[in-house]
A and B are shown apart, each in its own frame.
Chain A
Amino acid sequence: MSDLPLLSLVIWLPIIGGLVVLAAGASGNNGVVRWTALLSSIVVFLVSLPLWTGFSLTTHEMQFVEQAAWIPAFNITYHLGVDGISMPLILLTTFTTILVVIAGWQVIQNRVAQYMACFLIMEGMMNGVFASLDGILFYVFWEAMLIPMFLVIGIWGGKNRVYATIKFFLYTFFGSVFLLVALIYLYFQAGTFSILDFQAVPISMNAQILIFLAFLIAFAVKVPMWPVHTWLPDAHVQAPTGGSVILAAIMLKLGAYGFLRFMIPIVPDASAELDWLIITMSLIAVVYIALIALVQEDMKKLVAYSSISHMGFVTLGFFIVFDIYTQTGSVSGAALGMEGAMVQMISHGFVSGAMFLCIGVMYDRMHSRNISDYGGVVNTMPWFAALFVFFAMANVGLPGTSGFVGEFMVILGAFQANFWYAFLAGTTLILGAAYTLWMVKRVIFGEVKNDKVAALKDLNGRETFMLGTLAFFVLLLGVYPAPLLEVMHSTVDNLLQQAVTSKL
């Protein structure tokens, strides 16, 4: 198996699959299109599995490396590889794409082939972002994956889809420009576009600060961090269910991934200098955004704000290392934060994906996302209600679900940096429960609110399958997270050393 260029396969197979789906779409037979798309996504997932099973736990070096010349004049190479941070994210991507294909099965009746192709192509490109070890290759995937997303929102989206798409485009384009500038500057310093060389090359403090700010803008928009988050609720509200799932489960992680792959190892001194900025933004996200989530009337907006709040935990977990190192002279304790943040990313992929799928299930039946249009859904959809409450509890971070693991670890880690970080982050225990359970109360419980709710039909087989699968993983990761953690240890330990090793 290891002889196969696995990373290339997980990048290009779905893209080829997408093209095949497009071609099949020409025939007009939607059945063939759907099955081709499903088959492609399953094949890609199966191909990605050896990345996990063949992964060596003992090294922080890149694995499954592929390298080929691409544009020799600028030392740009086709350079792929994964470590303990990117590998789980690739698996999350290949897994989620299957669910997205299934989620769109009967729901999408308009331009089915294009819809499915968009997601498959997007899958390849997102895998490309996670696997790239060359700055330009990374940048190409980073930008290119947005195009199918724009299309998904712009074509299959809701009433205000054009506004949402433009806002999304402006924000992300704004961020990307800075990323490109930073990459070009680094090329002049390192002489190549290799990310690993970027990580090794010494950079002066002033330059580090500038690069830090450029990265911050690029990645903060993607995560999104407060105050550059306002595109996300609009994008979610307008996106079709599949779009929301990918957006929440994978795309937000790309920004967070950028912090780990670029910011901390490339500009560690600037990160140490300006960590307060990111921690402040993270804590504001956790508290401020949670309060905003409380008053949302649109379920998708509510979950979107909840996502931003949860991503605040991720960025907080990444950046506590500097405070801990300043106080104790060692990185002991910081791994809790960083690994917790990683677990939070994976878990959030499952949980927010599931939440959006649940809202999609209701929207498909009622054509409304307004909380006030619902009430008493449990009476007509008991199985759905059970799953919805389960995912809500995972969103609340109940122990035994995946949502707990990351939050718990980050709070434990944050405490070591500063009591008040943990205190503010911990408010999510209350606020997160408040906005989630209040929504559950108004949507799921109570008397049957109206005739539309009374006519609801419980989950069909397809929906049960996709939500049931997610529930299984949410539970598995909550009860036995050790295997996921083992994959990360070497990489995170190395990254923490990079973080506290000066590059001046």
Chain B
Amino acid sequence: MENVYLGIILAPLIGSIVAGLFGKQVGRAGAHWVTNIGVAVSFILSAVVFNDVVFNDAATYNASLYTWLVSDGIRFEIGFLIDELTATMMMVVTFVSLMVHIYTIGYMHDDPGYQRFFSYISLFTFSMLMLVMSNNFMQLFFGWEAVGLVSYLLIGFWHKKETAIFANMKAFLVNRVGDFGFLLGIAAIAMYFNSLDYADVFKAAPLLADLNIQVIPGLDWSLMTVICILLFIGAMGKSAQVPLHVWLPDSMEGPTPISALIHAATMVTAGIFMVARMSPLFELSTTALSFVLVIGAITALFMGFLGLIQNDIKRVVAYSTLSQLGYMTVALGASAYAAGIFHLMTHAFFKALLFLAAGSVIVAMHHEQDIRKMGGLKKYMPITYWCMLIGSLALIGTPGFSGFFSKDAIIEAVHASEIPGSTFAYISVLLGVFITALYSFRMFFLVFHGKENIDPHTKKHLHESPKVVTIPLILLAIPSVVIGAIAVGPWLFGDYFGDTITVFKEHDVLGQLGEHYTGVMGFVIHGMMALPFWLALAGVGTAYFLYMKRPDIPGQIKAKFEGVYRLLDNAYGFDSFNQSFFAGGSRKLGKILWQIGDVKGIDGIMVNGSVKLVGWVAGAVRQMQTGYLYHYAFAMIIGLLVLVSWVLARA
């Protein structure tokens, strides 16, 4: 199988290199063929692996490809760990990537950077696969940063746009803040485990569970808590959790296909994947789990609110992504790792679908993204309409759709959880259901129904997108509907993940839920009687009433609660605070250090001062001496004497 794994990794990389370095030679068609084939190969081979691991119960593969370096007895290696979790992620990544590759042929059709774009998204696929297939922390970090690089390149893909090149730098820097924590976490692991190999670390972790360390002298902290929180800071950056979420809305400056692939379906879920992968460590620290739970709950609810007031179609979907990432994080915090990964997968399908459908709308609207200038698009774009509807229904958790199973499982799991913060999290995710339905269908109604506010010129050319765009939509719509019902039994309540995920008995909320699980139909029926369903229904109803029946009310609400509106409009002020405090502050500090430290202090006093002093001393000394001594050398010897006497006096 080793060659198959290599093939999975290398096929997109080769595609990327060919399209990137030889884009001119292979031409536009050549570039999209070579990258599409590369990813298709990767997808097919991933399916083979998936079949092998999941259906044939192949043993977990864990081996190294080559030794990156050895130092201090620690082997840093590049290698693969292929188990159920990896195989699942590989399927999700390669499938969504393939859809996006196909879609891009249509979406980027007229773009001058066509080849470059294909090269980047294939490079992304390679990096993401390196991340999920890794069997050690070093390679994980490699993939982690490599996807960050590609995200940087793709957000700034339209590099003439000032907003785009600001957004990509912001994304990279905010992610770096997370990576800073992540790297310290890895350093802690290297120190206490003397290995960066997952298997070694997980095996040894229980032995170190009770170890305390003093990061701040005098304060005993549990080692596992420190490690897990540091690692989770990395996840907060990549998976855009409050307060490191600020880069994700701005990342919408990039072309829509990558918003779907990178900033919804795959890269941003790397943090979720990572925490699930590290479940043997996180289980050892309830404090860290609580931290994860609370951060996730804050993100799920408060980012949802922001979705309510966005008018840019992509930004609505982006805030929805933030909120859904919060749900996944909540699941992790509640030790329902399987539910988190489950939601990761269903979300990957329906959110990629929503983004690509939004992209289809955007192209049809001649790159108009303001939903207030749309309306009534249903009759012009029927396929996009139905796909968007399916995506939205899945997102709000309509019983039977994929999102229903994963979201309901998370809500129930949090309900069952008893760790500190779980009550707050439960309320947040419940309320979030209503909010999700409200903003989703607000957008849906404004875009596809109601009054047509379309620019007349645009309207003349308005038509459904070509097949190369709609086929990926349809292919994504299918799993968005059915995957939940298929997978819910084995994933959440069966032994799909086997030993891949570790959950301690006292945290095992999914196990408790499983005792009442009677099958898919039972789950659906139970769901229809539970609170979340009614909350979602209320959200849709409210959206219909406010934006279809009485479109005058939203304006009144806005006027009445102007303070609240402004708070939301400024996204709680995170951006302006970061801009003035961190960006402005460090620039100011840099200027001060430079002007006062370097120029005035070191150069002004030490360098020029000593030159002056030398001149003065030499001038004075010259009176007594013959004058043959070289001025500077003399002063230096005096300096040496002073130094010697100072040290001797101290000693």
Q: Enumerate chain A interface residues (CB-CB to B < 8 A).
A: 167, 170-171, 173-174, 177-178, 181, 205-206, 209-210, 213, 227-230, 288, 291-296, 332-336, 339-340, 376, 378-379, 389, 393, 398-400, 404-405, 408-409, 411-416, 419, 422-423, 426-427, 429-431, 433-434, 437-438, 441, 444-447, 479-482, 485-486, 489
Which residues 142-185 of B have a CB within 8 angstroms of A?
A: 142, 145-146, 149, 152-153, 156, 159-160, 162, 165-166, 169, 172-173, 176-177, 179-180, 183-184
Give the contacting residue for B173; candidates A292, A379, A437; CB below 8 A: A437
Which residues of B have CB within 8 Å of A427?
180
Give the contacting residue for B586; candidates A294, A296, A399; CB below 8 A: A294
Q: Give complex CA distance A170, B70 in Å.
A: 42
Judge whether A445 and B165 touch: CB under 8 Å: yes
Knowing A288-B597, A482-B70, say if A174 contacts B602 (CB, 8 Å).
Answer: no
Which residues of B have CB within 8 Å of A332?
72-73
B68 within 8 A of A: yes
> How near does chain B come to A183, taking the closest CB pair, in angstroms?
14
Of all chain B residues, which has the CB nearest A206? B651
Judge whether B69 and A482 touch: CB under 8 Å: yes
C-beta contact mask, B609-651 vs A, less than 8 Å → 1, else 0?
A: 0010000000000000000000011001100100110011001
Judge whether A288 and B593 touch: CB under 8 Å: yes
Q: Give complex CA distance A413, B180 in Å.
A: 15
Judge whether B183 and A441 touch: CB under 8 Å: no
Give the contacting residue for B69; candidates A296, A334, A437, A485; CB below 8 A: A485
B541 within 8 A of A: no
Q: Give complex CA distance A422, B184 in Å.
A: 7
Which residues of A have CB within 8 Å of B153?
389
Interface centre among B159, B166, B179, B186 (most CB of A within 10 A): B159
Stretch at the interface among B48-56, B187-195, B294-302, B345-353: B187-195
Judge whether A441 and B165 touch: CB under 8 Å: yes
> How near does chain A come to B604, taking the closest CB pair, in angstroms?
10
B590 within 8 A of A: yes
Give the contacting residue for A178; candidates B67, B191, B640; CB below 8 A: B640
Judge whether A415 and B66 touch: CB under 8 Å: no
> How near does chain A come to B629, taking the closest CB pair, in angstroms?
13
Q: Enumerate chain B interface residues (CB-CB to A < 8 A).
A: 66-74, 138, 141-142, 145-146, 149, 152-153, 156, 159-160, 162, 165-166, 169, 172-173, 176-177, 179-180, 183-184, 186-188, 190-191, 215, 586-587, 589-591, 593-594, 597-598, 601-603, 606-607, 611, 632-633, 636-637, 640, 643-644, 647-648, 651
Of all chain A residues, which has the CB nearest B166? A441
Q: Give complex CA distance A381, B351 in Å.
A: 37
Q: Give complex CA distance A414, B188 in Å.
A: 10
Of all chain A residues, which has the CB nearest B646? A213
Known: A291-B590, A486-B70. 5 other contacts (CB 8 A): A336-B71, A400-B142, A413-B72, A419-B215, A431-B586
Which residues of A have CB within 8 Å of B644?
210
Of all chain B residues, which has the CB nearest A447? B160
Of all chain B residues, which has the CB nearest A177? B636
Name 13 interchain pairs, CB-CB below 8 A, sorted by A: A206-B648, A292-B590, A292-B597, A295-B591, A336-B74, A339-B71, A398-B149, A408-B138, A412-B186, A430-B180, A480-B66, A481-B68, A481-B69
Knowing A291-B586, A333-B72, A336-B74, say if A411 contacts B159 (CB, 8 Å).
Answer: no
> How near does chain A come to B610, taking the closest CB pair, in angstroms?
8
Q: Give complex CA distance A170, B296 in Å.
A: 58
Which residues of A have CB within 8 Å of B146?
398-400
Of all chain B residues, which has the CB nearest A234? B603
Q: Give complex CA distance A423, B216 in Å.
A: 12
Judge whether B156 and A445 touch: CB under 8 Å: yes
Q: Give complex CA distance A334, B594 in Å.
A: 33
Interface centre among B146, B598, B647 (most CB of A within 10 A): B598
Judge whether B590 and A399 touch: CB under 8 Å: no
